[in-house]
Structure 1
Amino acid sequence: MRLDVVNPWGRDAPVDWRGGLTPPGAPGHAPINYWAWAAATGGRFHQTPDTVDGSADAVVVLLRRRGLANLRAVRQLKARGLTVFVSWKESGSAQIEHQLRYPWRRWLHRQVLAACDGAFAATEPGFTHYQEYGLPSERVRFVATPYPFDEPGWDFAQAIDARSGIVVGTRQFDQPSRRHTEALQLAGRIARAAGTPLTVFNLDGEAGRARVLAATGAVPTLRWVEQRLPYPAFLQELARHRLVIQRDAGWVPGQIAGDALLCGIVNIGGNGAVQRLAFPALAEPEADEALLEAAAIHLLSDDDAYRLEIEQARQRAERVGLSYGGFRAELAELLAAMTTGAMTARPRSPARG
């Protein structure tokens, strides 16, 4: 089964995976997030629907606030006899609301949903959103954005004894839903209690340093990363640690937790789709702050519990379509269900798993 993805008249450059999955550091976007739907199946990521040749089994159009472009792309692809799904490119709860804040945008969005074959919901808010805007439940399916930890060259996990400390996975003070200050505060308490190193990212100079220090408190082994890293270098940095901590409350797809799966480390906190599926006991709002702190301290000191958590997280990820192999199986089931009119045979959302 091959899936192509279209970001209609957007700025993201085309990528072609028909010859196989690209290695880390190759030109073009990494095969993660919405790009992964195409990469996992040997598909293509298109900048315009004009380049879609019809050889894929289905096409996903990524929706943005440009409603006319969304509608034009869906209608153009449907007119050529293609199976067309849609999915929000920015799919957190606040992001969806922002993109539909004007009545005319909401009207255009309903036209888009009426024209497509169905919707891929990569987040929990998206799952309910499509139904609220008139798409029948039998045409909505939760489809996670997978990560290629089961593909050659993309497993960044290091030996357990080569890992130490924790890293804060967020870095944006100016986006309230990231809850970056709360993540720094939690990480600081854990680092002090466990006597472990703490790594933070800071791209805001001295002002950023001051805010980080105010939030983390006195951590003797605080380590700074103050430059933007290419994605493979970022994963190598992440993989040096035992835990990544975040508190993102935006109901997003969950790239930080996906990166944790690639690195074979444990994600603590956040309510994105990936963390709720792969790390359910350590996701929010199920786990409160005290539980997250206690769990992190335990995982930092108990190698057996740590190995078990990682193994179970990757096994869960495989079952629910977060690995490339799991996603391919999920897609084959979905397209088969469509042909028999039974798309709702196993609808899922992150809450249900």
Structure 2
Amino acid sequence: MMSILGLLELNFSFQLVSFPAVILKRLTFHPDDCFEVRTPNLASLGQEEPWTPNTLSLRLDLSDPSDPNVSISLYFDPGTRPLGLLPGSKILLHNVEHKISKRKNVYCRFINTSVLTVISFPPSLQKRITTDETSFTRLYLRDIRGSVQGMQQAVCSITRISRLTLRWNCIWCGKLFTKGRCAARQEGFCSSDCGRFGASASVVVDDGTAESLALVEAQQVAVMLGLTAAEWKVLKDEVWMRGELEYSYNQQFHDPVADPLWNVVAALCCKASSFRRFNLSFCLKKQLHHQDVSEKTFQLGEMRYATQLLSSPVLFVKNITPSDWKALVSHWQHLHEAEQSTH
């Protein structure tokens, strides 16, 4: 683990670095521009979304926790980014790329193998969050280990839909049900003409402190995809004609003429509205402990790296609703003003 002061030495030779930092400033800009077009900060978040737009590049100005006068810039390309990147947040960075510009300026870049963990948020952002609709104590994903029991709630962003299955099953034997007929009818095992629709998805969620695998089922899948009741019914009717449809994140798009329905579902999983922030009510499918680790390998250039990470918890989602970020920001702003008035 390095320090920002050590990274600023021009003779520093490591390409991947890890270090703690405090976010001083957050700036977003268009990928083709060399200047910043938006500078949100905690004091002006009244009407501003606290999450950075995925279509813009991002620059974080970071300071050394032990010396606020020592700073370095960290750049993110457009795309889905960790949550919690607010001025004043303390973060821990792993495997970010160390770069030196033509003008001998030292900076860092967040790449595919990088990991960012939010250690703590600004003092005014309390864990107790109250909105117009609900009041609950937020649980951060980093705290989900063996001591967590029962139903919990968290505010997360869906960063990837890894798998989605839409399927009609026979209510009697459970076989595939297509066009009003059980697949076992041809074999003479079942003569049922009643089917039941099921939907399930495996998604990766991130709340800025850690990421987890979440399992979403039934009507919650429609909420996750941002579909209305009428749109969800149309999708179910289309799947009824074929019996089953499976989407996987690593699959290539199909022939638009041969399989248009699959391409529609793939587009729903990839579109920006599928990566919104949600309030999740969940329970742990499997209890995890602090000693549970998994090994991760990755390659950068000709070098291959291996590291051990804490195993990600698996969440079974009971309810999912879009997060009302304006209500959260309003509450954060109220806490910030109340804190300022006491000083």
Q: TM-score, normalised by structure 2?
A: 0.28
Structure showing the higher helix proportion among its residues: 1
Structure showing the higher strand proportion among its residues: 2
